[in-house]
Amino acid sequence: MKTAIINVSQLKKTYHTEAGALPVLHGINLAIHEGEFVAIMGASGSGKSTFMNILGCLDSASQGDYTLAGQSVAQLSRDQLAHLRNRVIGFVFQGFNLLSRTTLLDNIALPLVYAGIPKTERQQRAQTLLTKVGLEKYSQHRPNQISGGQQQRVAIARALVNQPRLILADEPTGNLDSKTSQEVMSLFCQLNDEGITIVLVTHEPDIAAYAKRLVRFSDGHIVEDHAITQRSWPC
């Protein structure tokens, strides 16, 4: 069996508000292995977004254990967390999160600046990924000069630039039409076929069907976890 890149045990999250304690996650147990493609679903308020933020080391659990790529997250300093996140995880968001005044090439290369990679190598790696997502002709364009689907492909290229083992995608097709969504999901399928682990949050069943496994949240609990046997074309 492949190694678990994500392993959470009895994970709990409680927010403390003026109205009192607000428990969001209630003892989550989940392992995701290298090379899996997992869709996380659930209604608004089910805890899936909070869980995703914890997986991405953007938030911390109140109780329980989280091991990412063999390292216990709770034992790491802020700088160590940032290093682990930058080395292991690529993020893709619903809103693309591209810098509007920056070229597509420089948007993709930005994580490499924080990693201390020299400029020439940054540009080479960014250009290679622009080619991979079919946008090699647009390197000097800015985000407002391309379509939403193209912007999401740039965001995926940016997520890949540090050669991550894991991609966390939060509603990556939420702002796209159905045809463009299919194109983006086909790219995720290709990346998964290349061995990258993908964890995808979505509220759309047809998007979840591209994955190989479905995990469903309800009221802070996992209520469903099974393999997807009827997968969407072309995965």
Look up tokens 């993908």; give the residue: 198
Q: Does the residue 233 lie in any domain?
A: no
Residue 110, domain member (yes or no): no
pLDDT of the residue at 233: 57
Do residues 180 and 187 lie in contact, with contact meaning Cβ atoms separated by under 8 Å? no
In a domain, 215, yes or no: yes
Q: What is the tally of structural domains in the chain?
A: 1
Quick one: pLDDT at residue 175?
Answer: 86
Residue 158 lies in a domain: no
Q: Please state, in angstroms and rounded to a whole number, the distance separating the CA atoms of residues 109 and 126.
A: 5
Of 28-37, 165-174, 225-234, the one with minimum mean pLDDT is 225-234
Mean pLDDT of the chain: 92
Q: Is residue 142 part of a domain?
A: no
Q: Where are the beta strands (DSSP E) in 86-186?
A: 89-93, 166-170
Which CATH number does the domain housing residue 66 bear?
3.40.50.300
Q: For residue 86, name the pLDDT band (cuts at 50, 70, 90).
A: confident
The answer to whether 54 and 11 have CB atoms below 8 angstroms apart is yes
Biggest CA-to-CA distance, the chain: 54
Q: What is the arithmetic mean of pLDDT over 53-57?
A: 94
Domain containing 25 equals 4-96+166-227
- pLDDT at residue 164 greater than cutoff 80: yes
Residue 139 in 3-state DSSP? coil
- pLDDT at position 232 is 65
| Strand pairing category for 4-17 and 63-68 | antiparallel
